[in-house]
Amino acid sequence: MTIFIIVVLIISSIGLIATVLLQSGKSAGLSGSIAGAGEQFFGKSAKGMDGFFSKLSVAFAVLFLLSSLGLTVFLK
């Protein structure tokens, strides 16, 4: 069971890295990051491939979190 969780952890970490790197940059600089976060918070959603990669990165992040917590439980 531990080996299975380790394999899931490795796959989810590689998937998370890949999806984050494949997303396009929203804007440049510190002011752009603050404005981009505000637009995303107030409901401006990404369309097309950016939206897909955003949802996929959230899924990989949740999978990474759950597999790391599961590995911690099984190793104790």
pLDDT confidence of 63, banded at 50, 70, 90?
Answer: very high
pLDDT tens-place string over residues 8-52: 999 999 999 999 999 887 665 555 556 555 555 555 566 788 889
Do the Cβ atoms of 19 and 56 come closer than 8 Å? yes
pLDDT at residue number 24: 80
Return d(Cα 65, Cα 9) in angstroms, integer.
9
Query: Helix 2-22 to helix 49-75 angle, to the nearest 10 degrees?
Result: 150
For tokens 């603050």, name the residue: 34
Q: Is 67 exposed, middle or buried (0-12, 13-18, 19+ CB in 10 A)?
A: buried
pLDDT at residue number 76: 84
